[in-house]
A and B are shown apart, each in its own frame.
Chain A
Amino acid sequence: MHKYSKIMEQIQRKLAEYTASLYNEKILDEQFIQLQQLQDESNPDFVVEVVSLFFEDSERLLNELAKTLNQTNVDFKKLDAHVHQLKGSSSSIGAQGVQRVCISFRNYCDDRNIEGCLKCLQQIKIEYTLVKNKLETLFKLEKQFVDAGGSFPVV
């Protein structure tokens, strides 16, 4: 029993550290906390659900962005609309890295700067992959914690 609680402690510490690192590295912002606060007994998987939706939506948008940018006559209005969508969703889950790039992306859209847009798309992809990996790890850790008998909120 003692050993068990020690493991729990470890997982919990690991989880806390990992979560903190996500904020420190400016991958997530406080909006994510908002998200976590919305999760309760009646809605136990809320965060995972929203984030999964975000992944789904982002991938679709990233494809759209790449497609739009690849066209000979880039439709900047459409591009901007897509980026706007992505900015909206990333900001509402607190994926500030993605959101940040979206802002400059939109500036490039305004300037009709294809180079800049392509660069931003690349950056967004990187940021998105980063946040995706980080969040997936976080969920894994949380699952470990729950499986080990822990219960939220730990935040």
Chain B
Amino acid sequence: MVCEMESDQTEYMEMEVEVLSSMWPEDMNENGKQFNIDWPGEDQDMLEEVNINEDSTIVDFKRLVELTNYSEKGSSQLAYLVKNWEYKQENAVRLLREELDNLSKQQQESELKKLEILEKYQFEEERYGGDKRPISILDEELKRYIFQEAPRKRNDVKIQDKLEIDAEYDSIKYWKQRATHLEKLLETSAQREQILTEKLQESIENLERQSSPVEELSQILKRADNFLHFVLQNAPVVIGHQDNELRYRFIYNHFPSLREEDIIGKTDVEIFTGAGVKESQDFKREVLERGIPAKREITFDTGLFGSKTFLIYVEPVFSKAGETLGVNYMGMEITDQVRKREKMAKLREEIAVQKAKETELNKTIHITEETMRAKQMLATMSHEIRSPLSGVVSMTEILSTTKLDKEQRQLVNVMLSSGDLVLQLINDILDLSKVESGVMKLEATKFRPREVVKHVLQTAAASLQKILTLEGHIAEDVPIEVVGDVLRIRQILTNLISNAIKFTHEGKVGIKLYVVPGPCPDVKQGSHKRMASDHSKVLAKICKEDKCTSPSHNALDRKGSGGCKDADGANERFMQNGEGNYSEQNGASIEDEVDDPNQQETTVWIRCDVYDTGIGIPVGADTARKYGGTGLGLAICKQLAELMGGHMTVSSKEHHGSTFTFILPYKVSPVCDSSDDNEELSEMDNHDTSSEGNDDDINSGFFQFQPRTLGSLFSSHSSGRATKLSPNGFGYNTLNKTNGFQVNSHSFPLDSNTSKETGSVEDACSVADAVDTCSDPESSFKHTRNSGNPSTSGREQNINGVLDHTPCFSSPNSETTNSDQGEITEKIEKSQIPEQPDRSSECSSSKDEQISKTSLKPKILLVEDNKILVMVTRSMMKQLGHDIDIVNNGVEALRAVQRHRYDLILMIINGARGDNALSSPVFAADDDVCMPVMDGLQTTRLIRSYEESGNWDAAKDAGIDEEVSPSNSLQRSDESSTKRIPIIAMTANAISESAEECYANGMDSFVSKPVTLQKLKESLQQYLP
């Protein structure tokens, strides 16, 4: 019962809360009517002025009644209240009823008990005469029981037990006493019953009399109101109700700035002026008309409370009939929020912009990266292409040294020139990408500008196919020696010259060198009259890098390479039968080294004009197609010039010629010591050894290479001019060989540019060491010459027009040349197939001696440090039917060669590139130690040296002792001390340099990695029977 009551109470509480919360909105619109206005920052003052009621909400009760009566909301609220009241009453009734039920239940129980007792008494009565009025007692008991709580009941029972009767049991007195006692009990019981009944009655009456619904309702309203006030105390909220004319009927504002009477009964527009007021009124009207609640954010700017933003909620109020009675209105000040929001929006916008920028940047970076990658890719590709290509070219060159019929030779020549063209192109691409990526490093070396110019012109003249005069003109103020990157400068010159030649069909092409005060491209030093007249009207100043108009010129056809006449004595010239006679004039101007020693290390700007009388830079774009070329060459020149701190320009007049000009700064070394120009020496190849008259060249200011067919015609003229203009100058004649020399010269492939010669034939190892970069035929030739005619060292350079830096001079006299030529050819013919005759004789001899040996498989040694490569190669060799011995490095290889006789060696070449290839060590397979072990090239050299000399002294010098194994060494010395073991290089970087190195170091062939079955098979077939 108690428990039940409690739960009822909870229910009641809950109900109350429910009622309150549901009443909330109704309260808001039906209470109070003071219009409170919040004045920003001046709240305090306003509050002082305004009389604030304790209850700031004022209710227009008449309106409220109206609303309650007529508006649906009001009536529903009323209904709710009534319902609530009814519920409460019901609850009370229910409670009472339950109590009543309980009572009657207990009564029943008591009656049962009474019956029991009666039975007992009856029994006693029967026994003792009985008692007539026991019932009331029990009744009384029952009542007491009912109205007492459980513990008291127990007490009662105890009392009952304690009931003592003095009289003797079963006597009449006893029974009488007992009867009176019981009667008394009955009486009190009856009294109590009556009291209770009365109480019950009273309670019921009370219940009926309890407060009317209106009272209750107003109480609740009051509570709600209080609550509202509590909640809304500090809220920046305005609540109001306006009738259908939008006059305020109720207003709640905690921070009022206007008095109630100023507001109630007026409209917004009547109260305020300023921005937003009209809007808010219109909005309310709209809601009123449409009958649908709505929210809007309105920014006010009124005289009364300044600039504030309110979020306004307006809902229409309808009568029961559905007419609009007015609107409920609630506004909340959200100025801060709006400001924040706007700030946020701005920030977001900024972030978005930032992000967009970032994306853009990333895109750009990505594109740049892609471009870089593409360029890198191109470079890598070119690299990869260059190696096999240089292989092809080298092989072709070797092929061209063999006995060929006319047609074959023509074909081979085409092959060579095409191959060279591609090679040059690839070199250009590599150069360009090197320059662009900033990888290209400049080297500062001392060099002599005059010689560079001379050699460039010589080289060009050597491969000249046209009737053109090539001339070089170096002003006297140009220092004898300057410091700069001679390779690059030469590259520029060569490029420009060959470009000029390409686009010039008659007239001349020349180089003019003179000192200018500073980096001013437009200053023309008109010191050279001849030049000025030749190149008089240079009108167009055209963009220097116009690809379509300046196609490059890389293909210098080697077909026309004839001998060049090197006439060190410029003034004396012998032209007989189209052949130039060599004449030497000593000491023409040795004393001409004037300026240099005086100069400290200063910078001079030297201007270089490369001029021609060619077609100029045409306007049309057809030329590119007609002449071919990519324009890469000029692009490289320009980039190189800029890289070296200078710049390049071009001026051109169509059909009259072009002048390419580059101005570069050079350091001038304080001392001119002709002995320390090692770079120069290497650069110039063996130029210095060429003639005693070399020193003259240093100071010569003018060179001329006459067209060979018109040589005689020009010779006197040019020599005269040379004499006139440059008293200490030299003239060079380009002579046409009318005899067999021209044909023979094909056997000496010329390369006007940087690609280098490689040949496979070598039979003079000692020479190879001395002249690493020279091709084998050349070196063999030199060898012959050096040994044969040491005295005529001056001739040496005359024939070998091979490397770009090797000038091509004509031979001193035709007979010598011819005889030399014949000798060379012979030599080459002999040496180009060195193995075959040897091998066959070897084989036959070994057949005779040891028949078993031929049936043996060839013994092959693999020198390789990479385990995986070893595994793969071994497996491949196995498939090809060969078992191989394997060693990991050069030292082991040498030991193996010392111990056994091998028919073939596959030799690893470590992958270090370019110039490092010779110097960088192969690391032992166990890299932790990182011990440099002899590399493949060195190993090969040592093996070759052994083959040459028959002893291992060279290896001993390198620190490798011969393991003495008498039988083997005996066998070896018997059999094959002279026999050459074919050594095939296995190169990872199949780049041209490594191919060259392979040959230069005595290898016979090379296989590029990754090794494939096919490649291996082909290589083996070459060397194994």
Contact = CB atoms under 8 A, between A and B. Distances in A.
A49 B875 CA distance: 12
Interface stretch (B356-364, B547-555, B805-813, B861-869): B861-869
B911 A106 contact: yes
Interface in B836-881: 865-869, 871-873, 875-876, 878-879
A92 B866 contact: yes
Contacts of B871: 49-50, 53
Given A53-B871, A93-B872, A103-B380, A88 B1009 contact: yes
A85 B927 contact: yes
Interface stretch (B758-766, B941-949, B1010-1018): B1010-1018
B1013 A84 contact: no
- For B871, B923, B1009, the residue with the greatest tally of chain A CB atoms inside 10 Å of its CB is B871
Given A34-B1012, A38-B879, A81-B923, A88 B930 contact: no
Nearest to A29: B1010
Given A31-B1010, A38-B876, A110-B913, A57 B868 contact: yes
Interface string B366-389: 000000000010001000000000
Interface in B990-1025: 1009-1013
A87 B988 contact: yes
A64 B930 CA distance: 11
A34 B1009 CA distance: 13
Interface residues of B, number: 31
Q: Is the interface of A mostly helix, strand, loop or mixed?
A: helix
A104 B869 contact: no
Given A35-B872, A38-B872, A50-B872, A88 B1012 contact: no
Contacts of A57: 866-868
A104 B376 contact: yes
B868 A93 contact: yes
Contacts of A82: 927
Contacts of A87: 911, 988
A91 B1012 contact: no
A59 interface: no
B910 A84 contact: yes
Best-buried of B872, B879, B911 by chain A (most CB within 10 Å)? B872
A43 interface: yes
A77 interface: yes
Nearest to B910: A84
B428 to A, nearest CB: 19
A91 B930 contact: no
Interface in A58-82: 61, 64, 75, 77-78, 80-82
B911 A92 contact: no
A34 B988 contact: no
Contacts of A78: 923, 927, 930
A49 B923 CA distance: 24
A54 interface: yes
B465 interface: no
Contacts of B19: none
A92 B873 CA distance: 9
A47 to B, nearest CB: 10
A9 interface: no
Contacts of A110: 913
A21 interface: no
Nearest to A87: B988
Interface in A5-58: 31, 34-35, 37-38, 40, 43, 46, 49-50, 53-54, 57
A84 B988 contact: yes
Interface in B979-996: 988
Contacts of A54: 868
Nearest to B930: A78
B875 A84 contact: no
4 nearest interchain CB pairs?
A89-B868, A91-B1010, A84-B911, A38-B875
Interface of A: 31, 34-35, 37-38, 40, 43, 46, 49-50, 53-54, 57, 61, 64, 75, 77-78, 80-82, 84-85, 87-89, 91-94, 103-104, 106-107, 110-111
